[in-house]
Structure 1
Amino acid sequence: MNFVFFSPHFPTTGADFCDRLKKAGATVLGIGDAPYDGLDPKLSAALSEYYRIADMENYDLTLRAMGHFIHKWGRIDRFESLNEHWLELEAGIRTDFNIYGTKLDFVKNLKKKSRMRAFFRKSGVDTIPQRKCSDRAGALTFIRRVGYPVVVKPDSGSGASNTFKISNAKELDAFFRDRPEDVTFVMEQFIDGLVVTYDGLANRDGEVVLAASTRYDHSVMDVVNKDRHLSYVCYPKIDPAIEAAGRKILKAFDVRERFFHLELFQARDGRAIALEVNMRPPGAWMTDAINFAYDVDVYAEWAEMVINDRNRGPFTGKYFTAYASRKKHIHYRHDHQAVLAALGGKIVRHNAIEDVFSRAMGNYAYQLRSKDLAEVREAIDFIHAEEA
Structure 2
Amino acid sequence: MNFVFFSPHFPSTGTEFCDRLKKAGATVLGIGDAPYDSLDPCLKAALSEYYRIPDMDNYDQTYRAMGHFIHKWGRIDRFESLNEHWLDLEAGIRTDFNIWGIRLDYVQNIKKKSRMRAAFRKAGVNVIAQKKTSERTGALDFISRVGYPIVVKPDSGAGAAHTYKISTPEELDEFFRIKPEGVSFVMEEFIDGLVGTFDGLVNRDGEIVFAASTRYDDSIMDVVNNNKHMSYTCLPEIELAVEEAGRKIVEAFDLKERFFHIELFETKAGKIIALEVNIRPPGGYMTDAINYSFDIDIYAEWANMVVKNQVGGPFKGKYYTAYASRKDHIRYLHSHGDVLAAHGDKIVRHNSIEKIFSRAMGNYAYQLRSTDSKALRHAVEYIQATEA
- TM-score, length of structure 2 as denominator length: 0.99
1:282 and 2:251 aligned: no
Does the 8 A contact of 1:209 with 1:314 survive in 2? no
Equivalent position SS for 1:157:
coil
1:304 and 2:319 aligned: no
1:18 and 2:15 aligned: no
Deviation at 1:178, TM superposition (A): 1.7
Distance in 1 (alpha carbons) for counterparts of 2:284 and 2:272: 22
1:145 and 2:134 aligned: no
What is the one-letter code of the residue matched to 2:325?
Answer: S
Report the counterpart of residue 118 of structure 1 in structure 2: 118
Deviation at 1:176, TM superposition (A): 1.3
Equivalent position SS for 2:287:
helix
Query: Residues 73-84 of structure 1: matches in 2 within 5 Å?
Result: 73-84=73-84
Query: Residues 172-321 of structure 1: matches in 2 within 5 Å?
Result: 172-321=172-321
Distance in 1 (alpha carbons) for counterparts of 2:69 and 2:117: 38
Distance in 2 (alpha carbons) for counterparts of 1:223 and 1:202: 30
The CA deviation string for residues 254-293 of structure 1, in whole angstroms up to 9 with x for no partner, is 0000001000101122221100100000012000000000
The CA deviation string for residues 61-93 of structure 1, in whole angstroms up to 9 with x for no partner, is 001110010000000000000000011100000
Distance in 2 (alpha carbons) for counterparts of 1:288 and 1:178: 36
Report the counterpart of residue 347 of structure 1 in structure 2: 347
Deviation at 1:201, TM superposition (A): 0.2
What is the one-letter code of the residue matched to 1:223?
Answer: V
What is the one-letter code of the residue matched to 1:195?
Answer: V
Q: CA RMSD in A?
A: 0.7
Equivalent position SS for 2:187:
strand
1:42 and 2:71 aligned: no
Equivalent position SS for 1:317:
coil
What is the one-letter code of the residue matched to 1:369?
Answer: R
Deviation at 1:363, TM superposition (A): 0.6
Kindly, what percent of the aligned residue pairs are identical?
Answer: 72
1:72 and 2:67 aligned: no
Deviation at 1:170, TM superposition (A): 1.1
Report the counterpart of residue 135 of structure 2 in structure 1: 135
Deviation at 1:311, TM superposition (A): 2.0
Q: Which moved more, 1:9-18 or 1:269-278?
A: 269-278
Deviation at 1:223, TM superposition (A): 0.3
Report the counterpart of residue 7 of structure 2 in structure 1: 7
Does the 8 A contact of 1:231 with 1:324 survive in 2? yes
Distance in 2 (alpha carbons) for counterparts of 1:375 and 1:247: 31
What is the one-letter code of the residue matched to 2:263?
Answer: E
Does the 8 A contact of 1:206 with 1:256 survive in 2? yes
Report the counterpart of residue 336 of structure 1 in structure 2: 336
What is the one-letter code of the residue matched to 1:364?
Answer: Y
Equivalent position SS for 2:31:
strand
Q: Find runs of 4+ consecutive structure 1 residues off by over 2 angstroms.
A: none
Deviation at 1:338, TM superposition (A): 1.2
Equivalent position SS for 1:322:
strand
Distance in 1 (alpha carbons) for counterparts of 2:50 and 2:134: 43
What is the one-letter code of the residue matched to 2:117?
Answer: R
What is the total number of aligned residue pairs between the two structures? 388
Equivalent position SS for 1:151:
strand
What is the one-letter code of the residue matched to 1:91?
Answer: A
Ranges in structure 2 where 5+ consecutive residues have no aligned partner: none
Ranges in structure 1 where 5+ consecutive residues have no aligned partner: none
Distance in 2 (alpha carbons) for counterparts of 1:293 and 1:377: 15
The CA deviation string for residues 178-198 of structure 1, in whole angstroms up to 9 with x for no partner, is 211121111000000011010
Distance in 2 (alpha carbons) for counterparts of 1:49 and 1:134: 44
- TM-score, length of structure 1 as denominator length: 0.99
Distance in 1 (alpha carbons) for counterparts of 2:25 and 2:316: 26
Deviation at 1:248, TM superposition (A): 0.4
Distance in 1 (alpha carbons) for counterparts of 2:120 and 2:218: 24
Distance in 2 (alpha carbons) for counterparts of 1:375 and 1:58: 49
Deviation at 1:343, TM superposition (A): 1.0
Deviation at 1:136, TM superposition (A): 1.4
Report the counterpart of residue 380 of structure 1 in structure 2: 380
1:102 and 2:89 aligned: no
Does the 8 A contact of 1:151 with 1:187 survive in 2? yes
Does the 8 A contact of 1:198 with 1:212 survive in 2? yes
Distance in 2 (alpha carbons) for counterparts of 1:159 and 1:314: 32
The CA deviation string for residues 89-132 of structure 1, in whole angstroms up to 9 with x for no partner, is 00000000000000000001111100111111111100000001
